[in-house]
Amino acid sequence: MKPIKIAYCTPSLYIPGGVERVLTTKANYLADVMGYDVSIILTDGAGKEPFYPLSDKVKLVQFNIGFEELWHLPFLQKITLYLKKQRLYRKRLTDTLMQLRPDITVSLLRREINFLTSILDGSRKVGEMHVNRKHYRNFETDGSPAKKLFASLWQKQLLRNLKRLDRFVVLTEDDKLNWPELDNVEAIPNPLASFPEKCAPQTSKQAIAVGRYVYEKGFDLLIQAWKLVADRHPDWQLHIYGAGERESYEEKIRTERLEGVIVCHPATGDIHRHYADSAFYVCSSRFEGFGMVLAEAMSHGVPCVSFDCPCGPRNIIRHETDGLLVPNGETTQLANQIVRLIENPQERSEMGRKARENIARLKVENIMNEWDRLFKRLTIKYNSQ
């Protein structure tokens, strides 16, 4: 029996981000464990190695379109160059899919979603969304009529394209409800890349936060909250790990006189060691697609305190059982719940134990079985036609 052939479309794999980590995890499992024929088609990052280890069985196809050149251009100039690159991408992707003839083509809802369903290569078309609807391509219009018009037209086009997909997969049941216009949506959460053999000892006087140094992760709010924590427990430290520009956060730490109490680190390929060295995890995100870092921390038996932001944390943490949820943006309440975990080590330990037990539902084999059932359902439907 021939293996199912699947092609993923995504910009790049060299960035140490959540989407890159999840895609690598899924592709590796499909190829190494389930025997799929897996290709990943990239538009950017030519000559750069994937940040996360990728199986030798997974084939990379690099188009070298260079959409990253658009990042810092003025809006109108960006549109002109985007259209040129988009035409090139469409041609190369069409030629490649006609040659590969995959059974299933998966878009991570980047540029190819605009034309993917019009490519008649015979494959079933699947879309994956890794943020919630509200924050997907959230154009900052700044009152500009041109930007407002572009955003409105783009949203209408997006819905038309999503309706044409064979399946559209979101991360949570909450976000599934955000797409009432569609009848092809289902929810499959992200998988854990690994599951540690034992719980973290929780003996250190330090907490951890992980994420890119960007507005959505709310590290500015976390610094505000930790200032209140430090007033009561100055011997505890917060360690933040992530990619991006951290200078503004380090400046805020200096302004608040929290040097040595809060430490900002670059991204690391060994984040699991730092989870295991922590007593608890703090999530200060303003919004999340899912919140994979919460699940990773919990797999180590590390309880989490998190803003109840849309859409991920409430689907991961069971409040008062294996972690704590705080009204979104309420820094004082976040500080109070952090202090609760600091001052109650027995409760912290019990929450950590339950966190590890409960999050086992996201083990890679469990989640990939859901994807396998979906892919086989689609291919069987295709073959029966």
Q: What pLDDT digit, counting tens, does each position of 75-94 carry?
A: 888 889 999 999 999 999 99
Among residues of the chain, what percentage have pLDDT more than 90?
A: 82
Please check whether the two domains, 5-191+363-384 and 206-361, share a CATH topology. Answer: yes
Above 60 in pLDDT, residue 133? yes
pLDDT the model gives residue 310: 86
**Taken in order 7, 290, 270, 321, is the CA torsion positive or negative?**
negative
Most confident of 128-137, 245-254, 265-274: 245-254
Note the pLDDT of residue 151.
73
Helix 18-32 to helix 292-299 angle (10° resolution) is 60
Which fold is adopted by the domain 206-361?
Answer: Rossmann fold (3.40.50)
Residue 346 CA to residue 335 CA, distance in Å, equals 19
Residue 137 confidence class, pLDDT cut points 50, 70, 90: low
Q: Which residue would you say has higher pLDDT here, 21 or 134?
A: 21
User: Which tens digit of pLDDT belongs to each residue from 331-354?
Assistant: 999 999 999 999 999 999 999 999
pTM for the model stands at: 0.84
Q: Please, which pLDDT band fits residue 141 given cuts at 50, 70 and 90?
A: very low
pLDDT of residue 385: 53
Report the pLDDT value the prediction gives residue 384, as an integer from 0 to 100: 53
- Edge-to-edge strands, sheet with 185-187: 59-62, 37-42, 5-10, 104-107, 124-128, 167-170, 185-187
Burial degree of 380 (CB within 10 A; 0-12, 13-18, 19+)? exposed
List beta partners, residue 185. Answer: 168
What is the average per-residue pLDDT within 367-385?
Answer: 85
Exposure b/e, 225-252, CB count within 10 A at least 16 = b: bbbbbbeebeebbbbbbbbbebeebbeb
Query: Domain-by-domain residue ranges, the chain?
Result: 5-191+363-384, 206-361
Query: Over the stretch 35-45, which tens digit does the pLDDT of each residue have?
Result: 999 999 999 99
Averaged pLDDT of the chain: 93
Asked if residue 25 has pLDDT above 60, the reply is yes
Sequential DSSP letters for 227-278? HHHHHH-TT-EEEEE-SS--HHHHHHHHHTT-BTTEEEE---TTHHHHHHT-
- 97 pLDDT exceeds 50? yes
Q: Tell me what the mean pLDDT of segment 108-136 comes to.
A: 92
117 pLDDT exceeds 50?
yes
In what side-by-side order are the strands of the sheet with 280-283? Answer: 262-265, 237-241, 206-210, 280-283, 304-307, 323-326
Quick one: pLDDT at residue 87? Answer: 97
pLDDT(142) > 60 = no
pLDDT number for residue 138: 57
Q: 5-191+363-384: what fold?
A: Rossmann fold (3.40.50)
pLDDT for residue 143: 58
Per-residue pLDDT band for 63 (boundaries 50, 70, 90) equals very high
In this prediction, residue 383 carries a pLDDT of 58
Task: Give the DSSP H or E segment for 282.
Answer: strand 280-283
The pLDDT confidence band at residue 269, using thresholds 50, 70 and 90, is confident
What pLDDT sits at residue 145? Answer: 76
Could you tell me the pLDDT band of residue 260, with boundaries at 50, 70 and 90? very high
Per-residue pLDDT of 188-235, as tens digits, reads: 999 998 999 989 999 999 999 999 999 999 999 999 999 999 999 999
pLDDT surpasses 80 at 177: yes
pLDDT at 272: 93
